[in-house]
Structure formats: structure tokens, C-alpha cells
A and B are shown apart, each in its own frame.
Chain A
């Protein structure tokens, strides 16, 4: 067995087992390419590192690609939750398409709207993305769809936003700004809910209650 294979420690999954097999059975010339780039201290025992990340790590060792965040397995459950939420919202949005008639969203669509709003709240609590960036994204989305009479434009906007979000590998501080760009593309008001009072359905107010116990 080549020397670099002996140095490998730690748990293997099926994919890595395949990789081990390929390395072990590779001709002498190909094997030296791996050992040449990784060096003798190459170890795959780093927690969270997946076999297909070895190329990314090799780039880091040469000083390349250092700006790209490392993929770690501890993000995986949150990413899965995030992706599932995106899929669920998209499914409800597809259903809502059936309630659009003559450019008007029917009243029967209210159950779908309520589901989407609940999913947005769940996404707000999903600990995925850098810092509070996913929360900012959800706040940007909610600024357009809370306390408003939904129209087909809102459905189209959310579809575009979630098609975009579903494809994202990471959520950063820039993502909310990109959602704002989508809001503007659909002719909606980015400043709604902050400095702008546009199209509010019901007005609430805070009332101070003084108790005389």
C-alpha cells in the first residue's frame, strides 16, 4: 500500500471508501501526484471534512481560495432544515398559482398564505447562515408580505426570491441586499415597514396600560 494511504486515520464514509480504493489501485505515476501536492502529513481525520473537500484544502495550503468559507458538517442539519423550508414555501407558492384568476388572488388562498407566513417565522428561527444574515433575509421578505392584501405580484416575488435562496450555498450579509434588489425588480417598496407606510391592511398601535392596583 502506498505511504500516504497508511497515514489516513479517522472515520470513512462510503464515498471516501471509494476514494481509498481509487488511490490504492492508481498507477504509480498518478499516486505521486496526490502525495506531491499534499505532502507526507496529509491526514483526512479533520472533523467535519468530507472527502471531496480535499481539493479545497489543497488550495488553502498553497494560499489559494483562503477567502472561501470551509464547508463543515456541523452546518449540515441547519442547511438541510433551510433547504426543506425553501422547498416547502415553494410548494405552497406553486399551489397559490392555482388561486390566481384574472390577475386576482382568490380569498381561498388565505390558508396557503398563512402556511407561508408560518414557514417564514420558522425560517427566522433557523440557525443557518453567517450571523444574523438569514434573519435579515426573512425580515426583508416579511416586509413585503405581512399585513398586506396579497396580489399575484407578491406570489411571483416570493417565488423569485425563494428560487434564488434555494440555490444559495451560504447566506451572508449581502443576501438581504440581493433580496432587496428582487423586491425592487417587482415594483414593490423596499422601505415598507420602516420609513414607508405603503399598503398596510390593518393598523396596529401600542397602548400603555396603567394599573391602579
Chain B
């Protein structure tokens, strides 16, 4: 039987962010015959890594200076502030002049170069995910409209294509149908697992259970991508369940119990080499 690895969004992002992690993950993937991802995983990738690149790009275009943009984006309490910090540090490392002082002229030039660099890689990141990162993207069950739309450049700014999903206007996916199909099976397993834990444990799995219950009890409910992302790990696992034998993630808190519920083997992706530094 072929060994098929389902990749979580955290793994896909780690493959891009750090060379050391990429090498480690590539070594792990050599043990598998096929690798797959899902449309909800692509949605997560778009809403995190690509979204942050677009945020930085659009700010740089609007402000035209590098330092104020970096200050504003990285000093905020935004949940992706660390990811933003990672991107702006990389831009400095490669495009900043090797000097300890940066004049206004240098700052403007750096902003322009950073903007052009991001402009070049944003469409390529999406293309990397869909064409190169895995052997197949399992998208037929859900067909997430938001995931299938690539980021596009308007006149000067990028649009990540993540509007609020509205059925028959900009949403043609089968997410509610998909949740109702798998809901009875997964809800029982989730409840059995969560009932053993303290009430404040596993918040993401609890959010997923609440969402599944809402969809099961309300025939008129319409989910938007933000709601889908709240139950992201469960949806990714369910979407890829039929076609995978293993699931790879660097987030064992959610993925380990999910894999146990779905009788799939969990492969924890950790990076011991980094911890020894």
C-alpha cells in the first residue's frame, strides 16, 4: 500500500520560511510515495503567508518608506506580527545596503526594492503551493472558492481574494454539505475526546465542534472563510482523510487527537537541530 502524506498548513509554511526546516521536511517526505494537501490548507496558506506578503507590499506602496511600515506592522499586537517580522528581516538582509545608518534616500530605495521583490513572489507563492509543493491538492469534496482564486494584482495593489463568502455571489463551494456528510462521524469522536479534558483545554477543537454543531442544526447556515478557518485542522483532516495514510504537522496539540479519531498515523514535524543552537 502506498504511503501518502497529508501536509498541514504549518508544514507548508515552514517549507518556505526556513531553509533548515525545509531540508528537514524534505528528508521526512522522502519516506512517502505521494504528498497531498487540501483546498482548506491552501485557504490557510493564502490567509497567512500570502496575506502577510500582500499587507507588507500594499503598505510599502502606500507609504514609500521602509522603516515606518516595519514599525507599524511588527509592533502591533497582530497575531501574525512574528510572520511579518520574519519577512521584513529577510528583506533587510538581502536588499539593505550594508551600513549601520540608513538615510532617507536608502530607506525609500529599500522600500521600493522590497515592494518589487514581494510583487514578484506573491503570485509565485500561490503557484508553488498548487503546482510544485505536493503531488496533488484534494479539492473536489469542498471546492473552496476562496482557495481556488489566486491573488491578483490590480493597478498597483494586490488583492488576496478573501472577501466575505456569499452563496451564489462569490461562493460556490460545498462546505456545508461536506460538514453535514462527515458531521455525525466526527462530532461523536470529538465529543468523546473533549469531554475527558478540562473545559479550557483544546480551544481549537472546541471551536470546530461548535461549528460542526451549528451547521448540523441550521439548514440555512452559510459559512464564510473565517469560520472555516476556525475549524481548519479538522476540515483539512477530513478533506484529506480518504486519500492519505499519514498526516504531517508541527502542531501536535490538535493533529495528534484528530489523527487518532480518523485512524491515521500522525507524523510530528519538529526541528531538533534548531533547539541545540
Contacts and interface: CB of A to CB of B under 8 A. Distances in A.
A199 interface: yes
B265 to A, nearest CB: 29
Contacts of A135: 112-113, 116
A192 B22 CA distance: 13
Interface string A189-208: 11111111111101111101
Interface stretch (B31-39, B89-97, B183-191): B89-97
B89 A193 contact: no
A111 to B, nearest CB: 16
B160 to A, nearest CB: 15
Given A135-B112, A197-B86, A206-B67, A191 B125 contact: yes
B16 interface: yes
Range for the number of chain B residues in contact with chain A: 20 to 34
A182 interface: no
Interface centre among A136, A143, A189, A197 (most CB of B within 10 A): A197
A192 to B, nearest CB: 7
A99 to B, nearest CB: 22
Contacts of A140: 117, 120
Contacts of B94: 142-143, 146-147, 192-193, 200
Interface centre among B17, B90, B98 (most CB of A within 10 A): B90
B124 A190 contact: yes
Interface string B84-110: 001101111111101000100000000
B53 interface: yes
B172 interface: no
Nearest to A125: B109
A139 interface: yes
Contacts of A177: 120, 124
A132 interface: yes
A147 B116 CA distance: 18
A26 B95 CA distance: 60
Given A142-B95, A147-B94, A196 B116 contact: no
A191 B191 CA distance: 42
Contact of A195 (B53, B70, B102): B53
Contacts of A202: 93, 98
B60 interface: no
Given A132-B116, A206-B67, A206-B70, A195 B17 contact: yes
Interface in B156-181: none
A204 B93 contact: yes
Nearest to B89: A205
A195 B90 contact: yes
B49 A195 contact: yes
Contacts of A198: 19
B18 interface: yes
B92 A194 contact: no
B218 interface: no
B202 interface: no
A132 B94 CA distance: 19
A120 to B, nearest CB: 11
A198 B23 CA distance: 11
A203 B87 CA distance: 13
Interface string A172-183: 000011001000
B113 to A, nearest CB: 5
B105 to A, nearest CB: 12
Given A142-B94, A197-B89, 8 more contacts: A190-B121, A190-B124, A191-B16, A191-B124, A193-B95, A195-B86, A195-B125, A196-B16
19 contacts: A136-B119, A139-B113, A140-B117, A143-B94, A143-B95, A143-B117, A147-B94, A177-B120, A191-B124, A192-B90, A193-B90, A193-B95, A194-B118, A195-B121, A197-B18, A197-B86, A200-B94, A205-B89, A205-B92
